[in-house]
A and B are shown apart, each in its own frame.
Chain A
Amino acid sequence: MAQVTLNSVRKVYPNGVEAVTSSSFKIEDGEFVVLVGPSGCGKSTLLRMIAGLEDITEGTLEIGDRVVNNVDPADRDIAMVFQNYALYPHMTVRKNIAYGLKNRKTPADEIERKVAEAAKMLNLEEYLERKPSQLSGGQRQRVAMGRAIVRDPALFLFDEPLSNLDAKLRNQMRIEIKALQRRLGVTSIYVTHDQVEAMTMADRIIVLNGGRIEQIGTPSEIYHNPASVFVASFMGAPPMNLIDATITGGQVTLADGVAMGALQTSAQGAVKLGIRPEDVQLVSEGGVSINVELIEELGAHRLLHGKLGGQPFTIHVLKDIPVDPGAHQISVDPAAICLFDAASGMRL
C-alpha cells in the first residue's frame, strides 16, 4: 500500500498537444480517488502516466516514497483494470489471473492459493477453467478484477472499467468494486466520465476539464461547493441551474429584470447564480414566479422544467407533491446559492 504524489506533472504529446497541464495532488494511502471529466479532458492520460504506459513530459510521480518516472510499469507495483478488460483470450480464467504472478516467478503453490482466494472473493470459482469468450460481461469484469487483486499491488488503477456493462450490472459492479476496495484497503485511482460513479464510489473526486484540474474534493464538497461553473454543470444529474444575474448592493436581479431578493454578498455586477434543483421550494405565494412547461416523472421524484427570467430552470420535487404545468411560485434558500463570476466561471 502506498500514497501517490504528483508534482507538477505535465504531458505534452509529440505533436505539441498539451494533454495534461501541470498538475499536483497527493493521494493518501488506502484512498479511493476518482478522476472524472468529459472525454478528452486528460483523465485517461493522467492515469496512463501513473501506470507508466505514457511518458511523463515534466514533473515527478511518486508511488510510495519512490519516484517512478522512469520505472517500467511492471515494476511500479500497480495493477490495472482496463475498459475492455484486456483478458488474454486464449487463456483460461485461471491462467489469466495467474499470468502476472507467473511472470514474477511466484512459486506454483502460492499462485494456486492466491488464485483460489481471489476466485472465491469474486465468485469465479466455477468459471476458472473457462475461456473469456465463454463469460458474460460482468464475469469478464470480475476476472479483470481478479487479475488485479492476486498481484496484491500497492495501487489499483481503473480505466473506465464499467463503461461496457449495461446499467443494472454497472450499479451492481460499482458497489462490488467499492466494497472490495474497502476490504483490501488498497489505494485506488479510478477514471470515469460518469459523474454518478464518481459521486458514489470516491473518497475524493478530482474533476478535470481540458487537461486542467478544476477541483479536488470529497463528493459532498464537489456537489455542494463547486469551484467553477464547469464543475457545477458537470456533477449532479440533473445539473445545477446556472442563470445569469446582476447584483447591485446585495439585491439580485435576473437578466430580464425579475427580482430574486437579497443575498449576503460583497459581489457586484454580472454573476452566474448556481442553484441545485433540489434547493428550490414551491411556495403558494411571495416567491419568484416561474412557468413550468414540462414535467419529468421519475417515480421517487419529479423534475419540473421551466423558464426563470427567460432562462431554463429545473426544479426537483418529491413524489407526494402534486404539480401541474403552468405558473408557480418558488423560493430559494439564499445559503444554497452559489455565485460564479460571469466572465471567468470561477466561484466568487
Chain B
Amino acid sequence: MADQTHVQTPRRSINWGAIGDHTVLILGSLFMLVPLIMVVLTTTVPDVDIIKYGPQLKIGDQFDDNFEKAMFEASGFSGANTGMRMLFNSFVLGIGFALGKILIAMMAAYAIVYFRLRFATLAFWVIFTTLLLPLEVRILPSYEVVQQLGMLNTYQGLIIPLIASATATFFFRQFFRSVPEELVEAARIDGAGPVKFFIDILVPLSKTMIAAMFIIMFVFGWNQYLWPTMITTEEDMYTLVRGIKQITQTLEGTNVPEFGRANLLAVIAILPPVAVVIFFQSWFVKGLTESDK
C-alpha cells in the first residue's frame, strides 16, 4: 500500500481569494479616480458640450484656452483675481499657516517639556482642550477681533488667528519627551543656553516631525474655506479654494457657465497639496527608518 502512493503534480489552482481582493481594490480605486479623471478631462472639452451632455470622459481641444483663461484672465469686478493671483494667495496661506503652526507649537511644547514651569501640565491640557473649540465655534469672536485690529483683507488676518495648534503642540510635546535627558545635559555642559539648545539641537532633531507636521498643516491650510470667505472681501485676496466657487457663481444666468475654467482651477488647486505630500513623504519615511536619536 505504502509504495503505491504517487505524487500528483499539483494543478495550479485559481486563487479566488486574491482575485476577490484585487477586484475590491480595483473597484475602490476606480471609485476614487474616475471623478478626478473626469475633472481633468472636463478641462479639455468645450463648455457647451458639458452643458449639453454632462461631465465628459473624453479628451477635447480646449485645454490651452481654458488654461489661459483660468490662470491669467480675471473674473469678477475688479479684475484682480486671476488664477495666478489666487494661486499665490493660496500658497501664502498654506505655507504661512503651516510654518506658523509649527513654530508656535514647537515653542509651546519646548516651554512645557523643558522648563520647570508651575502648572506646566495644566497649561498643556488647557492647550489640548482647545481641540474642542474649532474655528467654527469661535468664528464670530475671532472675526470681531480681526476686524477690530484692522486685519480684514490682509495675509496676517488670514493666517494669525488660525496659527495656534493643539494637535501640533501635542505631537511636538510627545517627541521632545522622547529626546534623551542626557542630550540636554550634554548641551548644558557644552555651554548651550535654552535658545541655542532649541535651535542647534532640538530643531534639527525634530526635522522629520516638522516635515510630517508640514504635510498635515499645509494641506489643512490650503483647504481652508470658511475663514478666507469671512476675512477676505477684496478680490485680490481670494484663495483658489474660494475663488473656484466664485467663478461658477458669478457666471450663472444666461451665459454658459465656464465649467472648463473652473475645473482647471480645481485641478491646479489639487496639485500643490499632492506635490507637498509626495515631496515630504520621502523625508518622512527616511525619518522613520533612520533612527536618528
Contacts and interface: CB of A to CB of B under 8 A. Distances in A.
B205 A82 contact: no
Given A99-B200, A133-B290, A133-B292, A88 B191 contact: no
B61 interface: no
A235 interface: no
A74 B189 CA distance: 5
Interface in B169-191: 180, 182-183, 185-191
B190 A99 contact: yes
15 contacts: A52-B188, A72-B188, A73-B189, A82-B186, A86-B182, A86-B185, A88-B200, A88-B201, A89-B205, A89-B293, A90-B204, A100-B191, A103-B190, A133-B292, A147-B190
Contact of B292 (A72, A79, A83, A90): A90
Nearest to B205: A90
Contact of B191 (A74, A86, A87, A90): A74
Query: How many residues of A sit at the interface, in one of the four size bands?
Result: 20 to 34
A51 interface: yes
A84 B189 contact: no
A80 B205 contact: no
A259 to B, nearest CB: 56
B182 A82 contact: yes
B292 A80 contact: no
Given A80-B189, A103-B190, 19 more contacts: A52-B189, A53-B185, A73-B185, A73-B188, A73-B189, A74-B191, A74-B193, A78-B189, A80-B185, A86-B180, A86-B182, A88-B201, A89-B292, A90-B204, A90-B205, A99-B190, A99-B200, A100-B189, A133-B290
Nearest to B293: A89
| Residue of B180, B189, B191, B291 ringed by the most chain A CB atoms within 10 A | B189
A86 B186 contact: yes
A91 B200 CA distance: 10
Interface string B141-185: 000000000000000000000000000000000000000101101
Nearest to B206: A90
Interface of A: 51-53, 72-74, 78-80, 82-84, 86-91, 99-100, 103-104, 133, 147
Nearest to B292: A89
Contacts of B290: 133
B58 interface: no
A86 B183 contact: yes
B164 to A, nearest CB: 28
A82 B180 CA distance: 11
A90 B209 CA distance: 14
Contacts of A104: 191
A80 B292 CA distance: 22
B182 A84 contact: yes
Contact of B192 (A86, A89, A103, A147): A103
Contact of A53 (B183, B188, B292): B188
B22 interface: no
Q: Which 10 pairs across A and B sit closest by C-beta, in order of nearness? A: A100-B190, A103-B191, A86-B182, A86-B186, A74-B191, A90-B204, A82-B182, A89-B292, A73-B189, A73-B188
B196 interface: yes
A86 B182 CA distance: 6
Contacts of A79: 189
B256 to A, nearest CB: 58
Nearest to A151: B190
A91 B292 CA distance: 10
Nearest to A79: B189
